[in-house]
Amino acid sequence: MYRIFLAAAIIANCYTATAEQAESYRMPTYNDKTSPPPPRAMADVDTLLAGEDTTPTSDKPLKILLVAGPKDHGTGEHDYPAWLDVWSRLLAKAPNTEVKTAWMFPTPEEAEAADVMVFYQKGLWNDKRAELIDKHLARGGGLVYIHWAVNGEDHPHEFAERIGLASKAGAIGYRHGPLDIDFSKAGDHPVARNFEKIDLYDETYWRLRGDADKISLLGTSREEGDDTPQFWTYNKGEGRVFVSIPGHYMWSFDDPAFRLLLMRGIAWTGDRNVDRFNDLVLLDARVETP
């Protein structure tokens, strides 16, 4: 089922792409100093996609707002604009899904219209952002934060109150390279279904601010002798939050395992069935060819 793409779904969604843009759903540029990890084995992807989420879900369109900012790293790293282009087209291929985009931070009108807001940018926290995010969470809205979007600058504790854990710029641990992400503490959370351990080549953060006892821990990485949170969910009042610390390298967004985690996180924060994006997981993804 997840390998079948329905033409009707493409016609029905609200995002219109040019023919040139529609040619690829893969990130356009990779890091030019480090070789990408090997493609994911198709058998492993089949294992991750197995089963079914039986959670009842709304028939209403899922309205997603993707929020990016200026690129702030080298080639194939933190390419927020490229992600905004590719993923706005990719997610819009899902049935009953509407995707819009915002630059830097949503307007109140953009936030009001969104069920889920996904942030991939250099993070920031201040009173203006707090007011809008608090209103979004209070009405049951979903939030997704990827990688450096968890940066709270000088207000990490206030940011962590909304997303579980947040970073203070210049005061965290971080490491680029091979990652062994362990999901043994995820329990039966639907986002982590079938995930036990996966390997990535990306970046971890640790020494984050906030109360780790309040998050629902999904995936960890062993850093400095500790199991550090790298994927988690968080409930704030009526709102739901999903956080992925990995997301530094653009090739991660073409890894079907990483895609699946992000797409399930987006669906879960929108209080939808986590399998709703399964048909997109393999589209132009990096998988082994027979």
* Domain-wise residue ranges, the chain: 7-280
Q: Summarize the confidence of residues 75-84 as an average pLDDT.
A: 98
- pTM of the prediction? 0.92
What percent of the chain is predicted at pLDDT more than 70?
A: 92
Over the stretch 131-164, which tens digit does the pLDDT of each residue have? 999 999 999 999 999 999 999 999 999 999 999 9
What does the chain come to in residues? 290
Q: Mapping DSSP to helix (H, G, I), strand (E, B) and coil, where does residue 127 land? A: helix
Q: Mapping DSSP to helix (H, G, I), strand (E, B) and coil, where does residue 253 land? A: helix
Using the predicted structure, report yes or no on whether residue 85 has a pLDDT greater than 50.
Answer: yes
Which spans in 164-249 are helix H? Answer: none
pLDDT for position 58: 78
DSSP 8-state assignment for residue 170: T
Using the predicted structure, report yes or no on whether residue 12 has a pLDDT greater than 50.
Answer: no
Residues 7-280, CATH architecture = 3-Layer(aba) Sandwich (3.40)
Over the stretch 235-285, which tens digit does the pLDDT of each residue have? 999 999 999 999 999 999 999 999 999 999 999 999 999 999 999 999 999
Question: End-to-end alpha-carbon separation of the chain, Å?
Answer: 20
Using the predicted structure, report yes or no on whether residue 229 has a pLDDT greater than 90.
Answer: yes
* Separation of alpha carbons 11 and 15, rounded Å: 9
Between 4 and 173, the higher pLDDT residue: 173
pLDDT for position 57: 77
* Separation of alpha carbons 269 and 280, rounded Å: 18
Angle ∠(229,153,149) on CA atoms, nearest 5: 50
Using the predicted structure, report yes or no on whether residue 170 has a pLDDT greater than 60.
Answer: yes
pLDDT for position 260: 98
pLDDT for position 55: 84
Using the predicted structure, report yes or no on whether residue 4 has a pLDDT greater than 60.
Answer: no
CB atoms within 10 A of CB 37: 17
pLDDT for position 267: 98
Using the predicted structure, report yes or no on whether residue 53 has a pLDDT greater than 60.
Answer: yes
Per-residue pLDDT band for 94 (boundaries 50, 70, 90) equals: very high
- 129 Cβ contact partners less than 8 Å away, ≥ 6 residues apart: 105
Rounded to a whole number of angstroms, the CA Rg of the chain reads 18
